[in-house]
């Protein structure tokens, strides 16, 4: 897969982030089992309940590892919800002719489900970044235009839900529980059905991993893209220092627990690189956190075993 999809950005006035497994079976033009859970404690599934401008949405995403460096992606966007989301059932039925309108303006439909099998790890990482990133609030890019671009670039690879339902059966302090089923259509008239689908999300708080909103970070330190990412067993983390100062770099898990402290010393101006070697930790999402006197910079890395 050669596509790299930009993040979905917008002005988020309220948001709640969840993590948890999404599981289902699919059959038809393609057959398989989808499970975002990597093991008992780590998964690549989550949800985001947000208000943006004058609308409210509940979005859930899951990535299921398949062959080496290949992943299945499932995304559902439910619009016109309350905030916070409440128990409810969404049902929809879309004709083939309606799919043209979806491509032109995907967010015009109150319920949208897509399934894309066989994505490479680079693309999958973009979706994981969206559902775990709380540092990009206030970006000027339009949620509408970016989602439309996504459909224009990937329409030949995605299955679109033409008929189905999503039911949230319970919402409480512990999380959100529900189920769904849908019939999917792909260009060239390929069809599949998703059955026995369920999700179970719990709220998470990544505030400690976010850049402090009131602090503007000057360009005295730049945290560059780690590589490889996803990685196994190590990832190199490059960064540049323009002004001499003390810098710390650590790795945290998705619940905010520090896994490893790699750097804690004074740096003269220059280019640097450090390496994170994953020892005795499970596959999943981790965060590189760079701290200096101006604030915090974060970056997601994914360990796949």
| pLDDT band at residue 103 under the 50/70/90 scheme | low
Written as six digits, the tokens of 254 are 């998705």
Same domain for 110 and 63:
yes
CATH of the domain at 273: 2.60.40.1930
Same domain for 262 and 149:
no
Residue 88 maps to a domain: yes
Give the Å distances, CA to CA, from 248 to 191, 218, 238, 262, 293.
Answer: 51, 17, 13, 8, 10
Angle in degrees, CA 91, 94, 97, rounded to 5: 170
Same domain for 196 and 238:
no
Per-residue pLDDT tens for 119-173? 776 566 656 655 555 444 433 344 454 455 556 666 778 898 989 999 999 999 8
Q: Are the CB atoms for 11 and 39 separated by under 8 Å?
A: no
The C-alpha atoms of residue 245 and residue 68 are separated, in whole angstroms, by 41
Same domain for 173 and 35:
yes
Residue 3 maps to a domain: no
Task: For residue 50, list its beta bridge partners.
Answer: 15, 57
Same domain for 200 and 265:
no
Written as six digits, the tokens of 89 are 């059932």
Same domain for 153 and 40:
yes
Residue 7 maps to a domain: no
Global pTM value: 0.64
The C-alpha atoms of residue 29 and residue 208 are separated, in whole angstroms, by 44
Same domain for 254 and 168:
no
Written as six digits, the tokens of 81 are 């919800």
Per-residue pLDDT tens for 25-69? 999 999 999 998 876 666 788 888 887 666 788 888 888 888 767
Same domain for 235 and 171:
no
Residue 114 lies in domain? 12-204
Give the Å distances, CA to CA, from 215 to 170, 292, 299.
Answer: 38, 12, 17
Same domain for 290 and 277:
yes
What total of structural domains would you count in the chain?
Answer: 2
Residue 2 maps to a domain: no
The C-alpha atoms of residue 117 and residue 157 are separated, in whole angstroms, by 8
Give the Å distances, CA to CA, from 154 to 62, 226, 284.
Answer: 17, 26, 26
């Amino acid at each position: 897969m050669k596509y790299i999809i930009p993040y979905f950005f917008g002005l988020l006035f309220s948001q709640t982030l969840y993590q948890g497994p999404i599981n289902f079976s699919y059959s038809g033009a393609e057959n398989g089992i989808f499970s975002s859970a990597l093991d008992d404690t780590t998964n690549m599934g989550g949800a985001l309940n947000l208000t943006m401008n004058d609308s409210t949405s509940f979005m859930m995403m899951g990535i299921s590892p398949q062959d080496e460096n290949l992943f299945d992606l499932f995304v559902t966007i439910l619009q016109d919800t309350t905030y916070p989301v409440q128990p409810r059932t969404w049902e929809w039925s879309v004709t083939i002719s309606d799919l043209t309108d979806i491509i032109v303006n995907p967010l015009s439909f109150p319920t949208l489900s897509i399934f894309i099998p066989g994505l490479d790890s680079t693309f999958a990482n973009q979706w994981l970044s969206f559902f775990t990133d709380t540092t990009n609030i206030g970006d000027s890019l339009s949620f509408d235009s970016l989602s439309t671009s996504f459909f224009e670039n990937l329409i030949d690879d995605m299955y679109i839900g033409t008929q189905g339902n999503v039911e949230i059966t319970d919402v409480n302090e512990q999380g959100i529980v529900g189920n769904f089923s849908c019939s999917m259509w792909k260009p060239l008239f390929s069809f599949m059905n998703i059955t026995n689908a369920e999700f179970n999300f719990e709220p998470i708080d990544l505030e400690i991993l976010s850049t402090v909103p009131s602090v503007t970070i000057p360009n005295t330190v730049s945290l560059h893209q780690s590589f490889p990412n996803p990685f196994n067993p190590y990832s190199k983390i490059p960064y540049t220092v323009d002004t001499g100062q003390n810098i710390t770099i650590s790795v945290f898990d998705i619940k905010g627990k520090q896994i490893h402290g790699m750097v804690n010393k004074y740096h003269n101006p220059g280019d640097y690189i450090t390496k994170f070697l994953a020892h005795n930790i499970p596959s999943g999402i981790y965060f590189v956190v760079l701290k200096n006197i101006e604030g915090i910079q974060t970056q997601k890395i994914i360990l796949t075993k």
